Structure 1
Amino acid sequence: MSVFNLYKMSLNFSQRLGSLCRLRIIHQHMMSTQVGSEVLMERVGNAGVITLNRPKALNALNLSMIRHIYPQLKKWEKDSGTDVVIIKGAGGKAFCAGGDIRAVTEAGKLGESLAQDFFREEYILNNAIGTYQKPYVALIDGITMGGGVGLSVHGRFRVATEKTLFAMPETAIGLFPDVGGGHFLPRLQGKLGLFLALTGFRLKGRDVQRAGVASHFVDSQKITALEKDLVDLKTPSIEDVAGLLKFYEKQSSVESDKPFILEQHMDAINRLFEANSIEEICENLKQDGSAFAQKQLETLSKMSPTSLKLTFRQLWAGAGMSLQDVLIMEYRLSQACMRGQDFYEGVRAVLIDKDQSPKWTPSTLEGVTESFLDGCFKPLGERDLKF
């Protein structure tokens, strides 16, 4: 019988007896910690299990959740009784659809510290995941965007299912693909990462693995069984976890006969997005004239010109940086966006009023000068991100 079923039996027993003391003992025995209701953390067997538990908000990540996940990860990393960490989302629709952007927007408008604290602490958590010393398994079953990517992509194991929907849509809201996007995106095949970063193109199911964002693919109906087997592993090595994931992957057949959605376009992506500037990419797309090129040009024309230029330089620089250095750079960019206008306008147009008609400032690529960009990348002195 599973630990979870034992827990339920014990809980029902305690309720029948009406014994609060008994209930506390069971909770302590399970080593379970419930932080409010937004993130659940428990020890199950030799595994630490994190459940993002804001299903109505598609498990969007807020500062409170970050502040509970980070110390628990650090504690489990040092705990000899914890051999593997699993992170997942509740509700069946999303792993994590992003950060709590509305709260950050309001704080930025008012000059409140959340606009600094959220990004700083989120990036410190991203780095902790990227440098984690024990097997870290993200079950990205459902929508995985923005902050959800940061909670998963830097970990050693990222398990996608046919329900996974990945995207980094930040250029549409006046931001840039942060949470370490400047590190992992340039390391995807060819110019795929730059294409995904600039256009916000969505990948689904097996394509998330084929792109290199996920490390494994497992049918969603097998995820519960996979989690149980992960929990049951005794002092597993990284190779043991990898072997189990590969076993489940071999048993998964959903979408196995479909080619990568961008396979027929990869040559064009590599050719058209090989450029020294956003303007050059746009010119390449104009000159090409194909339906695919025209569609990408139309997409880019809707994005924040400032975001496009920041993102291009971010990925160009990030290709040669460590994850830590990328996150330090991205923190500087996040604060530049907080000082600017496009982030607030993008959130208004896409998430609040939903008119999908942002008024960007400047409104053209030409209006975003190199000196302005230089200022966005400048060190912040005492306010720089530190690990």
Structure 2
Amino acid sequence: IGLFPDVGGGYFLPRLQGKLGYFLALTGFRLKGRDVYRSGIATHFVDSEKLGMLEEDLLALKSPSTANIEAVLEKYHTESKIDQGKSFILEEHMDKINSCFSANTVEQIIENLQQDGSSFALEQLKVISKMSPTSLKITLRQLMEGSSKTLQEVLTMEYRLSQACMEGHDFHEGVRAVLIDKDQSPKWKPADLKEVTDEDVNNHFKSLGSNDLKF
């Protein structure tokens, strides 16, 4: 929708295995169920039908500590058998993800995918071609910078990005196309990566001074 992976996405995504986080951020690929755990995003996987029981057991802890909370979560995680024998949905593609998404620019990532030429790579090209060019560029930089920042620093950065996106065109257009009119045909401005300048990207990351997020 012309935005970026917010709510700490700039912190945990670049810390996933290889370039998985960059792939997820730039393509919007959705992980489900146990794959969220296998990717490293979730710490535990619990069957949905047992979430109520898990909540009761956590609330029943008389003196909650990190250790005994972990013990309860681990118990439910270990007992879960759903999709336990299945491999990670992206396992067979990780080599391509790591090679194609190991680049410092969106343009280079696109070139890597084109040169790879596999059906998987070409499918990702189709997906990326529909994304907001501005969002692609700020998202890549968000993850690159976030890889060496603290969580608080990332959240401050993401607040700046959110304010810039609110003042821009693409977020509003994305919401219109996906959530309001639902025509799924956003008209991005700029519509081409070449038209998104370094200055445009830099402006999204500028300090807000006294209006910056504070902890």
TM over 0.5: yes
Instruction: Determine whether 1:177 maps to 2:5.
Output: yes
Equivalent residue, structure 2, for 1:350: 178
Q: How big is the shift at 1:189? A: 0.8
Equivalent residue, structure 2, for 1:8: none
Instruction: Determine whether 1:363 maps to 2:204.
Output: no
- 1:7-41 deviation line (CA, Å, top 9, x unaligned): xxxxxxxxxxxxxxxxxxxxxxxxxxxxxxxxxxx
What is the identity, as a one-letter code, of the residue corresponding to 2:65? Answer: S
Identify the structure with the greater helix proportion: 2
Task: Output the CA distance in 2 between the equivalents of 1:251 and 1:330.
Answer: 37
What is the identity, as a one-letter code, of the residue corresponding to 1:364? Answer: D
**1:186-197 superposed matches below 5 A:** 186-197=14-25
Task: Output the CA distance in 2 between the equivalents of 1:321 and 1:385.
Answer: 15
Q: How big is the shift at 1:300? A: 0.2
| Corresponding residue SS for 1:216 | coil
**Structure 2: runs of 5 or more not aligned:** none
Equivalent in 224, 232, 245 of residue 73 of structure 2:
245
Equivalent residue, structure 1, for 2:61: 233
What is the identity, as a one-letter code, of the residue corresponding to 2:88? Answer: F
Task: Output the CA distance in 2 between the equivalents of 1:352 and 1:288.
Answer: 37
Instruction: Determine whether 1:315 maps to 2:140.
Output: no
- 1:258-281 deviation line (CA, Å, top 9, x unaligned): 111000011110110000100000
Moved over 3 A (4+): none
Task: Output the CA distance in 1 between the equivalents of 2:138 and 2:49.
Answer: 40
**Structure 1: runs of 5 or more not aligned:** 1-172
Task: Output the CA distance in 1 between the equivalents of 2:8 and 2:150.
Answer: 10
Equivalent residue, structure 2, for 1:289: 117
- What count of residue pairs does the alignment treat as equivalent? 215
Q: How big is the shift at 1:296? A: 0.4
Equivalent residue, structure 1, for 2:126: 298
Two-structure CA RMSD over aligned residues (Å): 0.9
- 1:265-324 deviation line (CA, Å, top 9, x unaligned): 111101100001000000000111000000000000000000000000000000000111
Equivalent residue, structure 2, for 1:159: none
What is the identity, as a one-letter code, of the residue corresponding to 1:342? Answer: D
Task: Output the CA distance in 1 between the equivalents of 2:185 and 2:158.
Answer: 26
Task: Output the CA distance in 1 between the equivalents of 2:7 and 2:48.
Answer: 26
- 1:172-221 deviation line (CA, Å, top 9, x unaligned): x1111111111111111111111111111011110010011111011122
- TM-score between both structures, scaled by the size of structure 1: 0.55
Task: Output the CA distance in 2 between the equivalents of 1:240 and 1:354.
Answer: 46
Equivalent residue, structure 2, for 1:207: 35
Name the larger-Rg structure: 1
- TM-score between both structures, scaled by the size of structure 2: 0.97
Q: Which structure has the higher relative contact order (CA within 8 Å, separation 6+)? A: 2
Q: How big is the shift at 1:375? A: 1.4
Q: How big is the shift at 1:236? A: 2.6
| Corresponding residue SS for 2:191 | coil
**1:83-94 superposed matches below 5 A:** none
**1:1-387 superposed matches below 5 A:** 173-387=1-215
Identify the structure with the greater strand proportion: 1
